[in-house]
Structure 1
């Protein structure tokens, strides 16, 4: 796959005919690859999401994209913003392609009219020198090929003339722009306006949510914002809880 527009944006793009996990490929090659190097495939056989979930789609119907980020000078705690930055970038890339509403679900999903079209998994490099931002985007799956009733694809959502290079190049353009703004601000989400931009795009804020916390407890309440560390603020009977990690369900009642 030529990916001409995408190759003009980043220093390296390696398109693989098949990969177990593009994140694993990037992690293994991180020492030799530059900042913003990209590995992509339309046939990922061992993809995974948060909490050990498996991500599988018929070959040629989705893309898996992993971007290596080596944010020199940024404090490691600021890395927690990268899933949200990637989600914002992907939402901006997909928004012009479909008639429906494209939004970010905290912390790592992109939705079209409430259904998941993209999942994001970021992983720290073992030496903490950077991280890998992995994204899986459903492109041309039919309704019967989607894994859940709350999943969608660009095709199902009404996109016309779906072009891999157009989707990828738009995502990489938005991602690199947001990354540079964040880096210029020294990883400050307020100075860079990243927090405000993410909050504006975040479908979770203002909704009733159930959060399954890492310890196994359920937190029921209303998502009211995102703090300076990228944590979701949930207001419940117990007060306001800052959630750094958890499985969020949007409640529909």
Structure 2
């Protein structure tokens, strides 16, 4: 693993996309000042210069079928959550598909982009924005939180960066069999935010309605399955014969 540090850049994901042919697999591009950070579907990412972690990893998985690309998202999210939990003692969860939460606040975001040829992934660009030592947030983002705000003290960003990147690369390298992918999926589901068999409010962005439901599963394609609750008050768990709604990214949102 090689870490390349840049003082300032528009977007680490864009940089890697433009220079991927010059970079080895498992190369990390990190900057102290990302001026045009991107989130899912073009959302912006606020990061105070010199306070957080904004980085991108270039990975070239071997013989990795594009149909299982969500496993790369799972590996990334599980790696980040586990390092934060183990090294810092901070309870973190994965909010489907690619956010890291502490309680009901967003601690990190992940943006993954794939280059596909035929049925295989040629390379993957994994962008991560992690709120580390920022003490306050000025954007209109609804619920950000940083490790500093949780712990009450600053965290060594360089040490955290190296541990997270190493864990991500190791988890992806281990995805050589179907059993390994299945085990990873189980790990992802165990760390999933609000996957607690309870009913929660959701907003269906396709149908335009709001309802209560509980998470059933996430498919290998990354689609989220939610079972509708029996009643709007969610007075009891969703029945096994209640309808299941299936969502791709950005088709449903949690109501917090």
Normalising by structure 1, we get a TM-score of 0.84
Aligned partner of 2:225 in structure 1 is: 233
Q: In structure 2, which of residues 164, 177, 194 is the aligned counterpart of residue 171 of structure 1? A: 164
Q: In structure 1, which of residues 111, 134, 143 is the aligned counterpart of residue 127 of structure 2? A: 134
- 1:1-253 mapped onto 2 (5 Å cutoff): 10=1, 12-125=2-115, 128-145=121-138, 148-158=141-151, 160-182=153-175, 184-185=176-177, 189-190=181-182, 193-206=183-196, 208-213=200-205, 215=206, 217-218=208-209, 220=211, 221-236=213-228, 239-246=243-250, 248-252=252-256
Contact 1:146 1:152 in 2 (8 A): no
Whose radius of gyration is greater, 1 or 2? 2
* Cα gap change, 1:14 to 1:100, in 2 (>3 Å): closer
* Cα gap change, 1:159 to 1:168, in 2 (>3 Å): farther
Q: Match of 2:151, SS?
A: coil
Normalising by structure 2, we get a TM-score of 0.83
Gaps of 5+ in 2: 230-241
Contact 1:73 1:186 in 2 (8 A): no
Work out the CA distance in 2 between the residues paired with 1:228 and 1:65: 26
Work out the CA distance in 2 between the residues paired with 1:24 and 1:243: 28
- Shifted more, 228-237 versus 13-22: the winner is 228-237
1:81 Cα offset (Å): 2.3
Contact 2:222 2:248 in 1 (8 A): yes
Gaps of 5+ in 1: 1-9
RMSD over aligned Cα atoms: 2.4
Contact 1:209 1:248 in 2 (8 A): no
Contact 2:84 2:91 in 1 (8 A): no
1:226 Cα offset (Å): 1.8
Contact 2:216 2:225 in 1 (8 A): yes
Contact 1:103 1:201 in 2 (8 A): yes
